[in-house]
Structure 1
Amino acid sequence: METDCTRDDVPADRAVAPLAAGTRLLHIGPHKTGTTALQGALFAAKEAMAQHGVDFPATSRHPMSAALAVCSRPGMMGNSKPTDRHWETLVGQVAATGRRTSVVSSEFFADAPDDATIARIVEELGGDRVHVLVTLRPLARIMPSQWQQYVQNGLRMGYEDWLEHMLRKPPYEKPNPSFWRRHRHDRLIERWVRAVGPGRVTVVVVDDTDRGGLMRTFEALLGLPENLLQEVPDTANRSLTLAETEMLRNLNVEFRGNELPEELYSQLVRYGAVMHMKNACVPGPGDVKIRTPRWAAEAAAGIGAEAAERIGASGVRVIGDLALLSAVPRQPDAPADAEPRIAPEVAAQALYGALAAAAAAPVRSSVPAQSRTVHQTPSKELVKVLGHRCLKKLRRR
């Protein structure tokens, strides 16, 4: 039986009071704060939530293209650029929920470039019915995960060099200006408070020691029965090990150096080699993880402490312990001889993923004769030509 009330099934002793029925809950991330797990759980429970008056209007787990379009972001390297049509589709899906409670989640909303864009997002998703939710984790935990994600999008800079640029080289915008736009969390929250006011912003501090705690918090906010939201295993979203990331980073150097088409990177590397490697290989206890130097972890903790103080004074609703934002995670001591070595089977799976992606585009025509033989062609030029040919084949699907 469906109902427009989101509170009937909720135990009275819950610590988190649910939002008003009819709220349009907008979860803006930011990145690496449990967003993918949450989106997977919401999408998997879409039909069950609807029976309790809560709609998940997006037709996919993550309406990424819509968020990228409204925030004027280009998307992932090599992917087609999202258009206003993606955003207009999501707006229509949200509007179709009528007076029922609904929830939309994309970490790319945290990339909104200015107050005008934020105001547009809020107005078109429901105006004063919109309640903004921000999930936060300690910066020291976010930084290694965010770096390897940037590498998956073509970054060529090593981790310690990247940390130097992000923490020690003003204006801290190179090579990834999006990082502090997303992860200077106090300023992120202040931008959205200017659009909706502090009474319509909730901050959830994720406690990594409480597995499932984020799901329970969302259930309480949406007035859903406890344990309705369950994490969906997603090997494709796992973080890369240090060896895997370094292999990919070195590939990025070669890819850029030979000026290959970005679409080729998207097809063969991101959705071919990397995706298959993630799905086929599970890191073991002997794999070296990405480790943040002590100086960087302490610098991140200092920024987190300052952010926590400003968030606490902003008047927004806070669920969880803001002190966690200034925590310096304890890292297990790595063996003295630990080196980031890629296992042969992992390399094989990555290579197979790229070959499988290429094989999905069959050859439809013979290669025309060339005025020079392969042996007479410089290797850099040869790589570039082969890359363009491979891309043409992929486009013929």
Structure 2
Amino acid sequence: MSRRLYVHVGLQKTGTSYLQAALLNSTAQLAAQGLDLVPPSKRECFELMVVIRNRYEARRDEASDRATVERFTNQLDKAPGSRAVFSQESLAAAGPAQIDRLLDACGDREVHAVITVRDLARQLPSMWQEDLKAGGTTRFGAYLRGLQELERAGKAKAPWIHLDPPTVASRWAAALSADRVHVITVPPAGSPTDLLLQRFARVLDVDATRLEPEDRPSNSSLGLVQAEVLRRVNAELPEEVHRRYVYGDVVKRQFGAQVLGAQEKQRILVPAKFRSWCEEVSERHVADLAQGGYRVEGTLEDLRCTEAAFAEGSTRPSEGDVAAASVTAIASMLAARGTAEAERRTGEIRVGEDGLLTKVKRKLGK
């Protein structure tokens, strides 16, 4: 029997960062159970996805891309376990030709696709936040209307493809067969915190109790007010700061995650006027996945929207709340900068004092 490779393709915002952290924190425990991480690091997984999907085409180097794919194939060949797993959530948007390219690199492995799916009403605010964390400036309502247009036009492209599990599952089933496609549902709010990991572990055939998930979420969310602050800041940033390598470090991770992410949050809810659309789409997704012949871990009932996900009133924060959050953010950044500056100056004084003391000792012949 061929050794298996589980390709976890997302979808985005379905607990992927949490699951990936648990895998990376537990490499030894997984290896003891016959499961290898291939590629073995998050960076290499991302690089392989970029090559497979031909992202950033203008900056691609054919020789480097070929080496990346060959390295993956070699890693699979040398992996000692009976099973391996490759997790990268942006593979959800892979088209048929890109899926074939990945499968060609998998050698004689028996490939299984793993798709994590979440109810639409909870996923929409998370997707909007990711758009903002990438420099977006679109208001939530306008963002939702854009997604509606894509869905109603039947356009299976980003960002809608990451909210369309039946299309993603059908693409992988066409390349693999439906019985090699595993659909894992994200449990509803209020479920045990490790239930998603348990479901994921059952598909990979490992013991979830031997894994080490992170104590704190590795992908921090923003509250309603903080998201609006980031949206407005994005609109004021100069073009050079919006460059990917600059924005990711300075704005997304430092300002967004560390400063705004540390503030008290108010959950982002979907405006009630979108409720009928969300419920209609969700019902269709449940029916399509049920008829697809896929292996379901959890229950498709988890994909139905709950009343608590919708807001009857306005979803726009008040100007007072935005101003208060902005002042708090500025104070936090200044406090961090001030502390660092104070420590630097204290260090300079100590070095100066040590240098003066050395000169005195030399003069005294000590």
> Normalized against structure 1, the TM-score is what?
0.72
* Structure 1 unpaired stretches of 5+: 1-19, 358-397
Residue 42 (structure 1) shift: 0.7
Among candidates 287, 292, 306, match of residue 309 of structure 1: 287
Among candidates 90, 114, 118, match of residue 108 of structure 1: 90
Instruction: Give 1:345's aligned residue.
Output: 328
1:242-279 deviation line (CA, Å, top 9, x unaligned) = 222111111211225x565614323422243224326x
1:40-88 deviation line (CA, Å, top 9, x unaligned) = 001101011111211113332462222122112239xxxx879624444
For the residue of structure 1 that corresponds to 2:289, the secondary structure is helix
Q: Does 2:187 correspond to 1:207?
A: yes
Query: Using a 3 Å threshold, how does the CA distance of structure 1 residues 120 and 333 change in structure 2: closer, same or farther?
Result: closer
- Is 1:33–1:136's contact at 8 Å kept on the other side of the alignment? yes
Instruction: Give 1:194's aligned residue.
Output: 174
Residue 313 (structure 1) shift: 0.9
Residue 140 (structure 1) shift: 0.8
Alignment RMSD (CA, Å): 3.3
Q: Does 2:138 correspond to 1:153?
A: no
2:303 partner amino acid: L
Alignment of 1:196-235 (within 5 A): 196-208=176-188, 209-234=191-216
1:35 partner amino acid: T
Instruction: Give 2:363's aligned residue.
Output: none
1:187-233 deviation line (CA, Å, top 9, x unaligned) = 11100000000111111112132421121123223332341123203
Alignment of 1:1-397 (within 5 A): 22-61=3-42, 63-74=45-56, 84=65, 85-98=67-80, 100-112=82-94, 114-126=95-107, 129-168=110-149, 171=153, 177-208=157-188, 209-234=191-216, 236-255=218-237, 262=243, 263-277=245-259, 282-284=262-264, 287-331=265-309, 339=318, 340-341=321-322, 342=325, 344-350=327-333
Instruction: Give 2:348's aligned residue.
Output: none
Alpha-carbon separation, structure 1, partners of 2:214 and 2:186: 18
- Larger relative helix fraction: 2
Mark the structure with the bigger radius of gyration: 2
1:289 partner amino acid: R
Alpha-carbon separation, structure 2, partners of 1:255 and 1:60: 32
Instruction: Give 1:371's aligned residue.
Output: none
Query: Using a 3 Å threshold, how does the CA distance of structure 1 residues 165 and 81 change in structure 2: closer, same or farther?
Result: same
For the residue of structure 2 that corresponds to 1:133, the secondary structure is strand
- Is 1:301–1:325's contact at 8 Å kept on the other side of the alignment? no
Instruction: Give 2:347's aligned residue.
Output: none
- Is 1:219–1:228's contact at 8 Å kept on the other side of the alignment? no
Query: Using a 3 Å threshold, how does the CA distance of structure 1 residues 335 and 168 change in structure 2: closer, same or farther?
Result: closer
2:184 partner amino acid: V
- How many residues are paired up? 326
* Structure 2 unpaired stretches of 5+: 341-366
> Normalized against structure 2, the TM-score is what?
0.78
Instruction: Among all aligned residue pairs of Structure 1 and Structure 2, give the percentage whose two residues are the same amino acid.
Output: 23
- Is 1:135–1:206's contact at 8 Å kept on the other side of the alignment? yes
Query: Using a 3 Å threshold, how does the CA distance of structure 1 residues 128 and 308 change in structure 2: closer, same or farther?
Result: farther
Query: Using a 3 Å threshold, how does the CA distance of structure 1 residues 196 and 128 change in structure 2: closer, same or farther?
Result: farther
